Amino acid sequence: MAIPVAKKYIADFENMGFGMFVHWGLYSQVGQGEWHFHHSDITMDEYKKLFDTFTAEDFDAEEMVLMAKSAGCKYITLTTRHHEGFSLFDTCGLSDFDAPHSPAKRDLVREFVDACNKHDIVPFFYHTTLDWYQESFETDFDAYLEYLRKSVEILCKNYGKIGGLWFDGNWSKPDADWKEDELYATIRKWQPEAMIINNTGLAELGRLGHPEIDSVTFEQGRPTPMKRAGMPKYLAAEMCYTINDHWGIGDMDFNYKSPAELIRTLCACRKVGANLLLNIGPTAQGGIDPFQKALFGIIGKWVKVFGEAIYEVKPYPAYCTSPNFALKANDGSALYLFFTDLSRGGSAHVVAGTTKYAGAYSFGDVTDEIESVHWIDNGEELSFLQGDGMLTFNAKGYDYGLSTCVRVAKAIIKK
């Protein structure tokens, strides 16, 4: 069965590879994640006090965009409205529960989009479908869906070209008729080339949805290869991931992931052709947390060195000892060989348990003829043998002075 050809905007999305997710809302002032209202006993009237203190005085869209850009992210997905029902955008009279009516008195989505456009980052809008604020969500679902559709229409009409819409919450009423046809038709009318994504949640990673959906989601779980043969349409895949245990900032969450784990996760996504959407939770009034910035900064250093291996590439069906793998440049010029298990060497007086070099590595089923192989980080050539589909070479481990956690060799394909 044939694999469907990707529409251009879906292929473009896939080629971007790495994006930044931003969870910011009234809840950020509490510092216990974005589910605070649901997990506490307070009433919506009490919760609404957070609206009166929301000044957004620390929000600098440009700083956020530049942080994403220097980490190597090509797009940012911002929570324009989360489950609490508060909108960071001007709802144009649909509701007073939005940023322009709050003490912030600004359309924060406008600032976000302007900063993205200025710095060549593609803006995406997260929008909840579940709403704890709108009573109609429980009492008059049809009226609620119309409110949702009009909100989305505002986002599609008022901010120029956007990369896509990222919905979240249909899992809260799995048996309801969400009238997805109407919602997605509204998007297609104003933004024919926007990615439409609807998060299937923790319990259903990678599940296919409505035919208008352009990418499946893997929330907090490593993506598995897509079985695209026979599908009516080519779908992208995206994993979204927290850098600690919360999406909205958690002031008492110290369980941060290491840069090494995050880099490995980015590579594991690319291994199967999926994107990674890595989250930050800005502070109470929209500032960037310095530690989160530093984490993204380290990832950015890795991407600066090895980035050519993660954008505009496709999975390559070469087999090798897991967890290593190969990707192929879309222009057919090279294979990128990813090593995640290299050993470390150096003087036994400074490197504990030194094993020095990793030894011979083989990739099987390499159908392209290779001209030369070198490490991307230092350009060092690796001698190799190729025959019967096997590409074999001595992949050295790290000398003291280098430890990139994932190291990539570039194999140039003969023209």
- Residues lying near ligand GLC in the complex (CB under 6 A) are found at 23, 34-35, 168, 199, 201, 219, 240, 247
Shorter beta-carbon distance to ligand GLC: residue 23 or 344: 23
Shorter beta-carbon distance to ligand GLC: residue 151 or 340: 151
Question: Nearest distance from residue 79's CB to ligand GLC, in Å?
Answer: 7
Shorter beta-carbon distance to ligand GLC: residue 35 or 190: 35
Question: Nearest distance from residue 169's CB to ligand GLC, in Å?
Answer: 7
Shorter beta-carbon distance to ligand GLC: residue 28 or 324: 28
Question: Nearest distance from residue 277's CB to ligand GLC, in Å?
Answer: 8
**CA–CA distance, 248 with 281 (Å, rounded to integer):** 5
- Single-letter amino acid, residue 232: P
Closest to 360 in 3D by CA, of 388, 324, 334, 309: 324
In three state form, how does the secondary structure of the chain look? CCCCCCCHHHHHHHHHCEEEEECCCHHHHCCECCCHHHHCCCCHHHHCHHHHCCCCCCCCHHHHHHHHHHHCCCEEEEEEECCCCCECCCCCCCCCCEHHHCCCCCCHHHHHHHHHHHCCCEEEEEEECCCCCCCHHHHCHHHHHHHHHHHHHHHHHCCCCCCEEEEECHHHCCCCCCCHHHHHHHHHHHCCCCEEEEECCCCCCCCCCCCCCCEEEEECCCCCCCCCCCCCCCCEEEEEECCCCCCCCECCCCCCCCHHHHHHHHHHHHHCCCEEEEEECCCCCCCCCHHHHHHHHHHHHHHHHHHHHCCCEEECCCECCCCCEEEEECCCCEEEEEECCCCECCCCCCCCCCCCCCCEEEEECCCCCEEEEEECCCCCEECEEEECCEEEEECCCECCCCCCCCEEEEEEECC
Shorter beta-carbon distance to ligand GLC: residue 191 or 217: 217
Question: Nearest distance from residue 100's CB to ligand GLC, in Å?
Answer: 23
Question: Nearest distance from residue 181's CB to ligand GLC, in Å?
Answer: 23
Shorter beta-carbon distance to ligand GLC: residue 248 or 300: 248
Shorter beta-carbon distance to ligand GLC: residue 247 or 375: 247
CA dihedral 148, 149, 150, 151 (to 10 degrees): 50
Question: Nearest distance from residue 199's CB to ligand GLC, in Å?
Answer: 5
Shorter beta-carbon distance to ligand GLC: residue 35 or 141: 35
Question: Nearest distance from residue 242's CB to ligand GLC, in Å?
Answer: 8
Question: Nearest distance from residue 103's CB to ligand GLC, in Å?
Answer: 24
Shorter beta-carbon distance to ligand GLC: residue 44 or 202: 202
Shorter beta-carbon distance to ligand GLC: residue 103 or 201: 201
Question: Nearest distance from residue 131's CB to ligand GLC, in Å?
Answer: 12
Backbone angles phi, psi at 266, to 5 degrees: -60, -45
Question: Nearest distance from residue 40's CB to ligand GLC, in Å?
Answer: 15
